[in-house]
Chains A and B, each alone.
Chain A
Amino acid sequence: MLYLQYFRDFSCYTTLLFSFGRGCRLKKRYVIIINILIAGLILFIIVKYANDRAVESNQSSLASFEKMTTTTEQIVANYLEDEQHLCDIWANYINGSAEAGAPMTVDEAISYIRKAKISPEISGHLIFIDDDSMAGISTTARSTDSEDYSVNYSNIKIFDDLEISNVEGVVNLTRAYTNPLNGVQSIAFLNNVKVLDNETGALRSGLLIRVVPVSRLEQKLVFLKGEYENVEIALVDWDGDYMIHGKSLKNSNFFEYFKSYNPMSAQEYNQVIDTIHTDVGSMHIYNYKDEDCVIAYTPLSGLDSWFLVSYIPASELMLNRSIDWLILGVVVVGLLILLHFNLIILLNFNRKLTAAAEASNQANEAKSYFLSTMSHDIRTPMNAIIGMNEMILRDSNNEEIRMYAENIRASGKTLLGIINDILDFSKIEAGKMEIIEVDYNFASLLNDIVNMVQRKADEKNLEFNLEIDENIPRCLRGDEIRIKQVIINILSNAVKYTNEGGVVFSIKSNKCEDEPDYVNLHVSVKDTGIGIRQEDLDKLFVAFERIDEKINRNIEGTGLGMAIAQSFLSMMGSTINVESEYGKGSEFYFDLKQKVVNQEPVGEYNVAYKHFLLEKEQYKVQFVAPDAKILVVDDNEINLKVFVNLLRDTRIQIDTALSGDACIDLYKRNHYDVIFLDHMMPNKDGIDTLKDMKACADTPNQNTPIICLTANAVIGMREKYINAGFDDYLTKPIDTALLEEMLIKYLDSDLVTRAEDIEPERKQRILVVNEDIDFLRKATSTLSERYDVAVAKSMEQAISFLHKHEVDLIVMDYRIYTDLADMERSQHE
């Protein structure tokens, strides 16, 4: 139990740690990749979100900017219309006088305007245009001469594109020009007037000019600064010349400016100009610093060929984007820090994990060593026990002794079962367990199971009832050993955990409809045992888990049985189902599909079993090989004895050696047909001995097969020994049948005489004479195995038989003998 406990804890720990460590180390790069992917995804989402928000924000900002532009346009247009209107009022008044037949003189007109205008910044100029002199009078004096009111526009070229002789009806606006009286940049609103020439008294055509400083218009746009810090408003004419413009718009012409800093084809350039001329909208342009800027444009309503252009650096409209990028930057830095932090943690973790994995590797090696040692240490004496016991069973006719031997055999098998469970689990864990299908007799399988369990049930005074479907085919194909192991595990458990009542073992069969060659076995084991709590059902198939450990402490077992059974069934495409009521009992059942080899139904189990028994012969040697000579090497003398005895009936000549060196001596000296060599021996183990043997050239055994005979039965050993140079591998305790099969395989066929070819020995004939029929029957049954038994129930019959046959022995009832003696005496007398 200490072994088991140690193995249980140790196995779990090492297996988990090893697999965890290995897995984690393998996943290291994936963790980094996933980290990067997640970080990338987060960044992508942020960038996408920021972009979407920025686009929305930009669109919104752009729309607002365009709206501001159109609002400004309205303000500017209204202002210009108002100014024109005031100019028109002046002109209408002057012209009204003329139309009324009392035209004003130039002086009167100017005097009127001087009175009518309110703002001192604004002046009125009246010039004659009918003589192209473009000279006249102003409401305000020349800035350098307060007495001089004369004005002359002949050098101010602002009327070239205007029909100044007829400017009524619309806003007549000039470009920004220099007021010829004070040098102030101004714009002029025009109207035609009729006035009298002061000198000639003639009615002349004049042009009335309302001169407004550009700065006055610029003041109207100051409000924009509140909304946009760097917005600049420009008023441009059809050719792009500015009336007003901000500091960023260089050059004297907007279109020239645009062309200078936004290289494009002539066609594209013309498209842009057309767009500004005709549409209301916005576009991105580059300024003189190659910065992205936005202009919004709209025609000035009510004016021909004037446009308002708002200019703003794109960065001011896209502030939100900048903020998003800032957040993005912080997130990127954060993620990078997190990534590095994770990597540091991961590397640290991996270092520890590597150390743990190394420790786990060492532990795993220790586990393998433990398994190997345990297997070897237990199997070695087990070999002696089981082997010697087998000899007792073979040789003893004493019923009592045989019964004791049988018990030893059963216990030995139980112990071997426990060891095998552990080895099986180890194999399953390592993924090296395989299902090996063979043809098997169902009755035999059943018998082995029943024999195994019946005895245990009997010991506990439990009823063991069989409900075997008579239609189950007699011969099936499957992994007999594993099926038997599964059922025995379940049945053994049922018996173990049942104290009163009994166990019902039933097997039913159904033909597979789709596959006529297959049969579906429904195997059920129902007991009246302690049952299992619902919450414990999950633990049932977990390795090393024992339900109600405290209560069931006295029940032997590794806790592996059900886990192994479940694993085997899983490998065979089935699964164990459990229905249980705590305190009342449980039912374990599973379905198993098996290929049918012989459709003949097994019939009634008892009959079938008897039939099987009849068919089954008691142990008989499979062959004899009196000329064969084999060598067996083992450091354990008893094991050598067991080996020799097991092969006694084969009449093979067997030499034995107790060490590797002794083996080599014999190996060099004598020829052997097969050599069995133990592995674990003191001083020179089997592998080293093998190496020496292989290295030995001077030997008659160059081609002699060498078979490893070892108690080391853990997984991987077969491969290990084959790789070491052994021809085959046989485990202890020795299975006689396997041993004989192996010999048949490796011995020269000329040396082997198979059992069926052995001439039967003549049996000694015994004549049993007794009047009691039952006695005769019993004697026949008992002796006919080894003797040719003849019976006679009377002396007459006996004499009659003796006349015809020779006998080696006569067993006669004493009473008959005395009767015969009396009869002879009377004859003599």
Chain B
Amino acid sequence: MNKQIKTMISTTFAAMLMLGLVGCGQTDAEVPNQSEDIGIQQEKVTDAFAPKYSSDTEYKLSVAGTYSNFESLESTIDRFYDYYPNGEIEYKYLDDYRNTISLALAGQEPPDIYVIQPWMYGDEQFSSLFDGAEVLSATELEINLYCIRPSVKWEMDDGEIRTLPVFATSYGMLVNMDIFEKEGLEVPTTFAELKAVCEQLKAAGYESPVMGANTTTTPGIGYAFSYPMFAKTVKDDRSVEADLNNLVPAAGEAMRPSLTRLKELVDNGCIDVDKCTEEIEDDYNAVILRFFEGDVPMMLCSGDVVSGTKKRESQSEAFIKKPFKYEFYIAPSGDDGGYYMDSVSILFSANKNSANMDMTNEFMRFLTSEKELGLMAAEKRLITPTKDYSLDEVYASLSDFPEERTVNFRDIEILDTAVKQYRAAAYAVINGDMTVDEAVEKYGSIPTD
């Protein structure tokens, strides 16, 4: 063995030894700097998960939910197994969740963690879900709720937090970034820019620069483009909220700005509604697959629709053949920019009557971090409820969205009936069934079926 080889080997061994020593010297959590803000300090300390219990703790937990398939949660559970391998967390899809979750909580095999959706709050049928939920903000649980965006953090009337937002959603549009790059365009941030971009795209051969599902549902064109603007209108003047919920026709006036802007979108030729009707059969699968054809610069949709894109990439022959980069943007409906509806999609609550409360809370503590919630949202391709959008580049545009044009789910309390009136009005306007004036006038009596 010549000298050089000996030197290399001994250097390698020495390097390995040094690395080993350095590795041994590290701790799981960084020690915070005393000069740092206490809040930040707590965030940092708690963001790196440190198990409370012995790694050989045995446990069996169940999570009940509405998704028939919840792979992103299962991935999170797998990471939890790295700390507690001797247990099992089972996700259970409950048939007829709306009717069975309360029964399950009262039944022989109550879930330890269960899904709550925002609309359940206030409904007597679901009161047990909230009443039976563990107070996650309890100090002793050491759950890092600081990582949650304030806009989606849900404090109950008593100031406690009983639900953990797992996924957030919003309304806006999927943007084919390759088309914009090819055409040398910037993604529009204001309505004026949108009109200009659409002109250019049309000139470039894109018949309908904006497309979407022509439905009355939330992912539909009208709702996705204009409802956030409507919500902002209500947020700015909540005095109209009660009348809207009570379907007072006069309250319909609140719809005018957003419906007018919607009509403007259509009238300016930014969107060919007939083409959308013809080419997009439903508000979910068809929207995604049509977008993946690769010739739609902007596709109006909801965050839930975006969540289906990842799986369908492999189902679209066009996308497989010619993949492209796409991102989610807030639809630029306002003169100064779009309006970000920061809505909660689903939340988790821990059953305070769980047979294994410690490990239930331990899992909730594990889950409540920017990393885990971010990874889970990224895998599901929904919007993370945390402050860090960086884990999924599709939603990167939402980072640092101006607070003044953000509407979160607690800023307004518009009942489902009122929302349905708006959706119907928007549909009627873009399809020429009603003028904006007629829609405003007929608020409260617009057919919703």
Q: Which residues of A contact B (CB under 8 A)?
A: 121, 142-144, 155-158, 177-185, 213, 215, 246-247, 250-253, 256, 288-289
Contact = CB atoms under 8 A, between A and B. Distances in A.
B71 interface: yes
Interface range, B side:
20 to 34
A185 B102 contact: no
Given A144-B103, A183-B94, A213 B69 contact: no
B248 to A, nearest CB: 34
Interface stretch (B104-112, B181-189, B297-305, B383-391): B104-112
A121 B95 contact: no
A156 B98 CA distance: 12
Nearest to A215: B109
Interface in B50-91: 64, 68-69, 71, 74-75, 77-78, 81, 88-90
B109 A213 contact: yes
A156 B103 contact: no
A251 B103 contact: no
Given A156-B96, A178-B95, A180-B96, A247 B90 contact: yes
23 contacts: A142-B103, A144-B103, A158-B95, A178-B92, A179-B103, A180-B100, A181-B103, A182-B106, A182-B107, A183-B94, A183-B101, A184-B104, A185-B109, A213-B109, A247-B77, A247-B81, A247-B88, A247-B90, A250-B71, A250-B74, A251-B69, A252-B68, A289-B78
Given A158-B95, A178-B95, A252-B93, A144 B108 contact: no
A757 to B, nearest CB: 77
The list of the 9 closest CB pairs from A to B, nearest first, reads: A183-B104, A182-B107, A155-B96, A183-B103, A143-B106, A178-B95, A143-B107, A250-B74, A252-B69
A213 B108 contact: yes
B69 A183 contact: no
Contacts of A184: 104, 107-109
Contacts of A247: 77, 81, 88-90
B92 A185 contact: yes
A157 B95 contact: yes
Interface of B: 64, 68-69, 71, 74-75, 77-78, 81, 88-90, 92-96, 99-110, 128
Contact of B95 (A143, A177, A213, A252): A177
Given A180-B99, A247-B89, A252-B69, A144 B106 contact: yes
B99 A155 contact: yes
B100 A183 contact: yes
A148 to B, nearest CB: 10
Contacts of B77: 247
Nearest to B103: A183
Contacts of A157: 95
Nearest to A257: B71
A158 B96 CA distance: 11
A525 to B, nearest CB: 63
Contacts of B81: 247
B78 A288 contact: yes
B99 A182 contact: no
A157 B96 CA distance: 9
A215 B106 CA distance: 17
Contacts of A183: 64, 94, 100-107, 109-110
Nearest to B60: A247
A185 B75 CA distance: 22
In the complex, which of the residues A178, A180, A289 has the most CB atoms of chain B within 10 Å of its own CB atom?
A: A178
Contacts of A213: 108-109
Nearest to B87: A247
A288 B78 CA distance: 10
Contacts of A158: 95
In the complex, which of the residues B81, B92, B128 has the most CB atoms of chain A within 10 Å of its own CB atom?
A: B92
Contacts of B99: 155, 180
Contacts of A256: 69
A390 to B, nearest CB: 68
A178 B104 contact: yes
B120 to A, nearest CB: 15
B71 A143 contact: no
B310 to A, nearest CB: 12
In the complex, which of the residues A155, A184, A246, A288 has the most CB atoms of chain B within 10 Å of its own CB atom?
A: A184
